[in-house]
């Protein structure tokens, strides 16, 4: 039984803010960090000593277990400044807490009680509210993560961990439309593995093929299944969706596909908009044939960082297949607007996805 030993969050304010050094009109994703971070320790089978301290480096032993055996997971979600009030609006943090715990269970880590996650996130939102950008398309990105801290060289689950949350003011993750390459050689994840978990090692496996694809002008890899390279799974930084004959189609979740929060949000909104949605296996041949037959209307990636990224080119077996840009009244643009209107408080949130601070 995992227990929490917490009373109040201890606050140590940073006396030297770096906010004036940030150009909020030129926000590179992940470049800047706010003045504080939230930390909770785990040891003796409990979480304890919740605190907010000035953003700073962490001193660790070279023998720290997470360096060697990969016990580390992370999440990412955003806060937006309301367009109709002075409130800061957090988008679906509870869903991210749920997914983080699923990742932690798979990596054999102690799960986080909800109050430890949510209380820390809300406290950070209060303290860093001046860092939430006012510019359109910008937000404050929250990065919660957990990693093993045992200074012990032995392959076993750690007994001690840090849970940390820090924040970054960010702009768009991608600019413009995406060119993607369907991967038929490398494997990112397989059934029964950790593909569904937001673990560092899961992403490390994608870096080399993504680097090779980038040299040829492709911003993302479109991953296929590990056995046959027959079925599309996701891209390197997002889930993927296709609109074919007015049906929204996306690969069904499995142990090798991330349960994307944006993916889930789009599916919910699409159904309410009257679209038929199919979550199922999607073959490469089906998508390529739909492009050839002009029945593929849209293809796009979905994720917290990029939200919706239209795909303009899919490369398969060294052939580029071009996809028309989404229409002004097309599905992805309509659902993107609905999502943004909820996030910025422009329209009511019918799904109870947001928390206002």
Confidence of residue 306 (pLDDT cuts 50, 70, 90): confident
pLDDT digits (tens, 9 = 90+) for 244-294: 999 999 999 999 999 999 999 999 999 999 999 999 999 999 999 999 999
Confidence of residue 2 (pLDDT cuts 50, 70, 90): very low
Distance of CA 161 to the CA centre of its chain: 22
Region(s) of the chain under CATH 3.30.470.10: 3-170
178-343 maps to which CATH number? 3.20.10.10
**Separation CA 54–CA 331 (nearest Å):** 43
Q: For the chain, where are the E strands, in sequence order?
A: 3-5, 10-11, 36-43, 46-54, 72-74, 77-81, 88-91, 139-148, 161-170, 178-182, 220-224, 231-235, 239-244, 247-251, 276-280, 282-283, 296-303, 307-316, 319-322, 354-356
Selected residue with higher pLDDT from 166 and 201: 166
Kindly state the average pLDDT of the residues 301-310.
90
User: Residue 202: its pLDDT value, please?
Assistant: 86
Domain covering 3-170, topology:
D-amino Acid Aminotransferase; Chain A, domain 1 (3.30.470)
Cα separation values, 230 from 78, 180, 196, Å: 34, 16, 19
Average pLDDT, the chain: 94
Q: What is the torsion angle, in degrees rounded to the nearest 10, for the CA atoms of residue 353, residue 271, residue 340 and residue 264?
A: 50
pLDDT over 70 at 61, yes or no:
yes
Share of the chain above pLDDT 90, in %: 89
pLDDT digits (tens, 9 = 90+) for 71-129: 999 999 999 999 999 899 999 999 999 999 999 999 999 999 999 999 999 999 999 99
């Amino acid at each position: 039984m995992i227990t929490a030993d917490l009373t109040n969050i201890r606050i140590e304010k940073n006396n030297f803010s770096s906010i004036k050094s940030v150009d909020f009109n030129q926000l590179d994703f992940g470049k800047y960090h706010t003045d504080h971070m939230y930390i909770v320790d785990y040891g003796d089978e409990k979480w304890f000593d919740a605190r907010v301290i000035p953003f700073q480096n962490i001193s660790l032993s070279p023998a720290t277990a997470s360096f060697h055996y990969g016990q580390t997971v992370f999440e990412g979600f955003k806060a937006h400044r309301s367009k109709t009030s002075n409130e800061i609006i957090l988008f679906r943090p509870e869903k991210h807490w749920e997914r983080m715990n699923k990742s932690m269970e798979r990596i054999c880590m102690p799960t986080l009680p909800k109050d430890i996650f949510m209380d820390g996130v809300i406290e950070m939102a209060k303290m860093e509210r001046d860092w939430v950008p006012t510019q359109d398309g910008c937000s404050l990105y929250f990065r919660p993560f957990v990693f093993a801290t045992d200074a012990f060289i032995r392959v076993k689950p750690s007994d001690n961990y840090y849970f940390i949350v820090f924040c970054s003011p960010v702009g768009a993750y991608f600019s413009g439309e995406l060119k993607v390459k369907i991967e038929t050689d490398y494997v990112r994840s397989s059934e029964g593995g950790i593909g569904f978990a937001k673990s560092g090692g899961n992403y490390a496996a994608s870096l080399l093929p993504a680097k090779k694809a980038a040299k040829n002008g492709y911003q993302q890899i479109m991953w296929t299944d590990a056995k046959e390279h027959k079925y599309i799974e996701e891209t390197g930084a997002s889930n993927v969706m296709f609109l074919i004959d007015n049906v929204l189609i996306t690969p069904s979740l499995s142990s090798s596909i991330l349960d994307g929060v944006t993916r889930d949000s789009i599916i919910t909104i699409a159904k309410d908009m009257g679209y038929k949605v199919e979550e199922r296996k999607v073959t490469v041949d089906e998508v390529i044939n739909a492009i050839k037959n002009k029945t593929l209307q849209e293809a796009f990636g979905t994720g917290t960082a990029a939200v919706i990224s239209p795909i303009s080119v899919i490369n398969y077996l060294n052939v580029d297949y071009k996809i028309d840009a989404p229409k002004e009244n097309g599905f992805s643009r309509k659902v993107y607007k609905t999502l943004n209107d909820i996030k910025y408080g422009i329209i009511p949130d019918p799904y109870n996805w947001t928390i206002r601070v």
